[in-house]
Amino acid sequence: MLIVKLLRWLFGYFDFEIKGRFPERFINLAIRNGLNLWNMRGEKEELHATAKIADKKTAILFAQKAESELFVIKEHGLPYLCRVYKNRAGLFAGLVIGVALSCWLSGFIWNIQINVPPELNEYEIRNQLKTLGFYEGVRYDTKEIDNIKRKMKLNDSRISWISINVFGTNAVVELSPKISSGKDNDNDDKKITVSNLKSTADGTITKINVHNGTAMVEVGEGVRKGQLLVSGIMEYNDGTNVMADSKGTVYAKTCRSITLSIPEKYDKVTDSDEFVCKKELNIFGINFPITLCGNPIGEYYKNQSKLKPTLFGNDLPITVTEEEWQKYHIDKVTLGKEDGKKILNNRLKLYETFMLYSDKRSIISKKTKFEEKNNTYYLIADYEIEEDICEKFPIQLKE
């Protein structure tokens, strides 16, 4: 149906009415001679219909034979527009230039979508592509894109596969990272992973739970940082030794101290109600200011956002950038002793939250001390903690 409407618009059509004694004769003549009519309706002694502009003379002749008169109500389509605007050469020139410009701009890449796996960084990949000449606003060249794909794989050893697909003015980049094969580059012999567990802190052993390996310490024994806790060498009853990947947990009582501070006098930044909003339109890589104002002078900080409109699911080569400059002022604040103590205690609670985030750590005891020195408030906290102090140290051996 859409194709029929398009063809009718290209060849032109007109609406008309027939008035006379025998309008039904006009219909009979039209059907007998193959005159194509549509949108026909009758009102008393009138007949309304639509036909192609090319059949206008034939329709007038048939109306005369039916002792009726044909009146053209309105013409439609491209021939009608060409006739109306035939003396406006600038309009047609602009149309031709616009079509030519659209065809020329369609050969450029205006939007690049990069789908990267978690192992890779989109910002780095985008910069690498830009260095190789593939960026938003560059002209599309199939041969050059093939070279870019080869260079990307050579320049970045993390990439095992890359594809660049162009859809009109949009491009989609897909990447796949290299997966470690577990083999040495110089030798295909398989490697065996052997590891020891060593201490990450000084402390006294409270619990030992070894899943694989040989425990080298006992409960109640004091250990130093870096001391061997679990060995990857296991000895069987028959005297044979086997090297293995050590696994297990060794808990110990450790001590930890932290000092938090806050000055008695400091500068406080406060936002004001005054702000400046700037907008800029970027079309085909050319910037056009929407708001005619420069960067404000004074104490301001900037927030920036970008809007990229889409049409039928495709990004347009248009970007609207909005900058909001928020004014702020700095106030001199003098902090009282109780307020300073409250702030430092809140910071200490936050520290404890992150310190105890792991389920392998718990606080046994805590001592705090608050003091004021050199116009600064200090909060000193000493902890006794029970935690897993194991750290794996792998040793790669060839089979």
Number of alpha carbons in the 13 Å side-chain half-sphere of residue 367:
5
What are the b/e assignments for 63-85, b being 16+ CB within 10 Å? beebebebeeeebebebbeeeee
Taking every pair of C-alpha atoms in the chain, what is the biggest distance, in angstroms?
124
Helices (H), ranges, the chain:
2-11, 23-32, 56-65, 78-84, 89-105, 122-131, 142-155, 337-355
- Cβ(108)–Cβ(171) under 8 Å? no
The tokens for 279 are 């907008």
User: Are 7 and 71 in a shared domain?
Assistant: yes
Euclidean distance between CA atoms 155 and 329, whole angstroms: 48
Mean pLDDT for back-to-back runs of 10 residues, the chain (399 residues): 81 88 82 86 81 89 86 87 73 75 75 83 86 82 78 84 83 78 47 83 93 91 93 76 86 94 90 88 82 85 84 75 90 90 93 79 92 93 93 73
CATH code of 47's domain:
3.30.70.120
Residue 117 lies in a domain: yes
**C-alpha span between 247 and 211 (Å, rounded):** 5
Helix 23-32 to helix 56-65 angle (10° resolution) is 130
- Domain with residue 169: its CATH number is 3.10.20.310
- The pLDDT assigned to 224 comes to 94
- CA distances 64 to 7, 36, 41, 57, Å, are 29, 18, 19, 11
Domain boundary pick from 125, 144, 177: 177
Burial of 248 (0-12, 13-18, 19+ CB in 10 A): middle
Task: Give a yes or no: residue 79 inside a domain.
Answer: yes
Residues 17 and 71 in one domain: yes
Report the number of secondary-structure helices (H) and strands (E) in the chain: 8, 24
162, part of any domain: yes
Domain tally for the chain? Answer: 4
Instruction: Give how far the C-alpha of residue 124 lies from the chain's centroid of Cα atoms, to the nearest Å.
Output: 14
Asked, for residue 356, whether it belongs to a domain, the answer is: no
Q: Is residue 277 part of a domain?
A: yes
- Co-location of 11 and 77 in the same domain: yes
Asked if 62 and 24 count as a contact pair (C-beta separation under 8 A), the reply is no
Among the listed residues 196, 192, 194, the one whose alpha carbon sits nearest the alpha carbon of residue 391: 196
Residues 6 or more apart whose CB falls under 8 angstroms from that of 305 comprise 321, 322
- Whole-number pLDDT of residue 250: 94
361 located within any domain: no
**76 and 18 together in one domain:** yes
Residues 119 and 160 in one domain: yes
Q: State which of 145, 177, 209 marks the end of a domain.
A: 177
Give the end of a domain, one of 204, 227, 250.
250
- Listed in sequence order, the residues at least 6 apart from 168 whose beta carbon sits closer than 8 Å to its beta carbon are 106, 314
Angle value at C-alpha 22, between 17 and 24, nearest 5 degrees: 70
Judge if 270 and 233 occupy the same domain: no
Query: Does 323 map to a domain?
Result: yes
Q: Is the domain of 68 the same as that of 17? A: yes
Domain that holds residue 231: 191-250
- Give the relative orientation of helices 122-131 and 142-155 as an angle to the nearest 10 degrees: 120
Q: Is residue 130 situated within a structural domain? A: yes
Say whether both 6 and 57 belong to one domain. yes
Amino acid at 209: N
Q: Using the CB atoms, write b or e for 333-360: b if 16+ within 10 Å.
A: eebeeeebbeebeeebeeeeeeeeeeee
Q: Does residue 127 share a domain with residue 198?
A: no
Q: DSSP assignment of 350-389, as one string?
A: HHHHHHT-STTEEEEEEEEEEEEETTEEEEEEEEEEEEE-
Contact call for residues 172 and 125 (beta carbons, < 8 A): no
